Amino acid sequence: MSKTADTPMMQHYAEVKRQFPDAILFYRVGDFFEMFGDDAVQASKELEITLTSRDKGQTALAGVPHHSASSYISRLVAKGFKVAICDQVEDPKLAKGLVKREVTRVITPGVTIDEDLLALRDRALLVGVTSGDGRYGLSAVDFSTGEFRATELETEDALREELLRIDPAEIVVPGAGDKPRDKLLADAVRRWMPKLTLRIVLPVTEPLEQALARHGGENAEVHLPPAAAGAREAAQTVLAYLEETQRGVRMPHLRRVDFYALDDALLIDPSTKRNLEILRNLQDGKRAGSLFDVLDRTQTAMGSRRIRMWLDYPLIDRESVEARLSAVDELRTKGFDRDELRAALKAVPDLERMNGRIVMGNATPRDLALLRDGLAVLPGVRERLHRFESPLLRALAERLDLLDDVLTVFRQALVDSPPLTQREGGIVRDGFRPDLDELRILSRDGKGAIAKMEAEEKSRTGITSLKVGYNKVFGYYLEITNTNKHLVPDDYIRKQTLTNAERYITPALKEWEQKVLHAEERQCELEYQVFLDLRAHAAVQSERLERTAASIATLDALASLAQVAEEGRYVRPRMVDTPVMRVKQARHPVVERNSRERFVPNDVLLDADDRQLLLITGPNMAGKSTYMRTAALLVIMAQIGSFVPADEAEIGIVDRLFTRVGASDNLMAGQSTFMVEMTETSHILRTATSRSLIVLDEIGRGTSTFDGISIAWAVAEYIHDRLGARTLFATHYHELADLPLTKPRVHNATVEVREWNDEVIFLRRIIDGAASHSYGIQCGRLAGLPGEVVERAREVLTNLERDELNEVGLPKLARSRKNPPVPSAQLGLFAPPAPPASVPSVVEERLAALDVNQLTPIEALNKLAELKKMLE
Ligand code: ADP
Ligand code: MG
């Protein structure tokens, strides 16, 4: 910084900036927040505000008016920046020398209760990650609601998956200064989440219970298993970072930390989630066209977040699934009551975030009125909820605390629509506080007296244009234009001269002014006090508010699922613990809504006996991928407690769901390398269990045909022999249709097509059997390849296909060291085409085995007929 920058203020600035090197520092100067140096350059670029300079161009400078600062701050934070607010903490008028300034808040993407910012995403989670003993700890907090949880992970893979699942707004790791304690971990996180800035903080040193009590008070609860040291440390890291950003302000909504175990949920890896378009569509990453979008018919933001949470962690415990399903079932059946319930829910504000704002002291008078109006509808919600009997809904009704004590006070105290401002009055209802009413009368009377005085002075002086005015500097005054100056009486005291008027005061006027201003001031002050009391009153009840909010969220989510089930004609799935899936006429929940052609439903049949792996062959665009996605989506839906789009469904609980979409089908740019495909496939083969569901769509496509077929073949065999997982396996390599010859639990299916007038018509129906060919050549002909090329291609194909079988008529691909050729006696089962001439045919073998001397003429004739038939 330049020489002249060394004013006391700039020295102070530099000192503060040193403490927040990684933040953009908003420094209050007069009515502006100024940024200097690099901060100014960066902010001017990001916010498109003017960059100027001071000290003869030596220091860059940019500023925003303090009253509109929050929108600029939001925009910077939304872009991932951290913003430190250095504000004046004393009244500049009273300050001696340099006005005292302090950093009062640090705002970051993961630590915000700013409505505008939060509106940009459904939620903003701050996540802490730690490592130790080859394990990982993770903790996530939603600062806007106070939800705080932690878990442990065994592998780096699992950590990565969980981070992608949470999709945090900000991540923090333990360390000091800019040095992370575990550099490898920090680098890995940076690699996985390149868009986020990794924060580094020293975890709080005292036990988590003690640290949390600083905020949640004596009711603070830590529900982490004693052995979960990683989860604990992750929570300590998150807490330290929160404390750093809040600059010593208490965070009473951080009251409990809960443990969650990933084993308790149906785990869906990130690429599966993306491929299945669970939360976003693949085209533009928006919510439209996702499963979430179909299922979310909630009436409140809380309910919507709840569905999102359910989709992140579907259940695997059958009883819990059934509990939700029963609730949804009842809500669906009782349509009238559901409608009324949903209508009532619509009026409930976001109580979870409201609670956050209340306890953090950020709720405005308007927020309190919103809370009041929200509480007022709860009795209606509960009354309607009481019409339902399923245990889960009963439990929700039980937990729904109406907070009628709070409501009563708020009703008495708050005016109908109070302002956003807190110190300018207009908040408290008449009749709530006698002392406040008195002040109001006083100030009203005073104003009346002043108005009366104006009339009296007019008649006394004869100046008809005389008027009483008010400004902040002089208070009330009498204004008289210059033309009437000569009429001014002696007792007027001149206060101010304007171009064409003079302003005067009188002792009587000042006397009334004292009364009015004093009364008004005290009135505002009193209203502010009442407001603070009301807010504190609500804050004390935050635990109850939280419980009610949670109960409303779940209720809203269940009612939404019921609404979707009703409108979409979904059925309740029968959940079982055996590894089966039997669905009649399944439909894809998203495609059935959006596709232009009529959706063709299909059965899904998987079991452990002869249909463990369904091998689906068929041409491109036939409907293979859609079919498999349908099956996967139905499982997810069922396990969050939703009904499913089908005529009938029996679904064995799935512990893990995997999908792998082959290179050419993967729409995500940059993801389409063969290596990624193989990495994901190996991940599946290493982690799937006999209770998992695997969807493999065109694997092995990103390499040469022979490589591709070989890999696909080997993978299918491995799943069949080793994993036993229910699997849907689509491939355009029709060669794989030979797998069932050696693998009894592989079943062939294909998509029915009709060839008609040189055209291929897709019937979208999945049927037993294999595609006879790939239709590639046909497609080429339709595309206009010269006839000669098409003909020659056919010839080459025939040549290639001729050698597909081995000497005993089995597909050559099936041969292995472990699977020696199957004896020829079983051949009849498979009706092979004519084997090569060097090997005796079945008929020849039978002939050779005949003992002609033992046959009667009739027997001989019969044998002859039989052999002839075999030849046909
Ligand atoms: P494949 O994977 O065999 O190439 P897709 O599953 O991608 O085929 O489907 C191709 C197109 O057909 C998609 O646009 C899809 O919307 C439509 N489709 C697929 N299955 C059905 C169905 N059962 N009913 C109606 N349309 C379908
Ligand atoms: Mg496909």
Q: Tell me how far the alpha carbon of residue 650 lies from the centroid of ligand 1, in angstroms.
A: 24
Q: Tell me how far the alpha carbon of residue 430 lies from the centroid of ligand 2, in angstroms.
A: 69
Which string of DSSP letters, residue by residue, matches 357-377? HHHTT---HHHHHHHHHHHHH
Question: What's the pLDDT at 862?
Answer: 83
Question: What's the pLDDT at 771?
Answer: 75
Give the position, in ligand 1's atom list, of the atom nearest the Cα of 595: 16
SS in 3 state form for 557-587? HHHHHHHHHHHHCCECCEEECCCCEEEEEEC
Question: What's the pLDDT at 773?
Answer: 64
Ligand nearest to the CA of 665: 2
Residues lower than pLDDT 70 in the chain: 1-5, 113-122, 662-673, 702, 758, 772-775, 802-812, 817-840
Q: Tell me how far the alpha carbon of residue 759 lies from the centroid of ligand 2, in angstroms.
A: 20
Q: Tell me how far the alpha carbon of residue 762 lies from the centroid of ligand 1, in angstroms.
A: 9
What radius of gyration, in Å, describes the C-alpha atoms of the chain?
38
Q: Which of 626, 633, 660 has most ligand 1 atoms within 8 Å of CB, for mutation?
A: 626
Question: What's the pLDDT at 675?
Answer: 79
Question: What's the pLDDT at 814?
Answer: 72
Angstrom distance (rounded) from CA 512 to CA 452: 11
Question: What's the pLDDT at 518?
Answer: 85
8 A C-beta contact, residue 151 and residue 259: yes
Residue 539, exposed/middle/buried by CB under 10 A (0-12, 13-18, 19+)? Answer: middle
Question: What's the pLDDT at 642?
Answer: 98
Ligand nearest to the CA of 619: 1
Q: Which of 621, 728, 731, 763 has most ligand 1 atoms within 8 Å of CB, for mutation?
A: 621
Q: Tell me how far the alpha carbon of residue 692 lies from the centroid of ligand 1, in angstroms.
A: 25
8 A C-beta contact, residue 307 and residue 557: yes
Give the position, in ligand 1's atom list, of the atom nearest the Cα of 602: 23
SS in 3 state form for 627-676? HHHHHHHHHHHHHHCCCECCCEEEEECCCEEEEEECHHHCCCCCCCCHHH
How far is Cα of residue 139 from the mean position of the Cα atoms in its chain?
16
Give the position, in ligand 1's atom list, of the atom nearest the Cα of 587: 23
Q: Tell me how far the alpha carbon of residue 672 lies from the centroid of ligand 2, in angstroms.
A: 15
Question: What's the pLDDT at 832?
Answer: 43
Q: Tell me how far the alpha carbon of residue 664 lies from the centroid of ligand 1, in angstroms.
A: 16
Give the position, in ligand 1's atom list, of the atom nearest the Cα of 601: 23
Ligand nearest to the CA of 604: 1
Q: Which residues line ligand 1 (CB under 6 A)?
A: 591, 595, 597, 599-600, 618, 620-626, 764
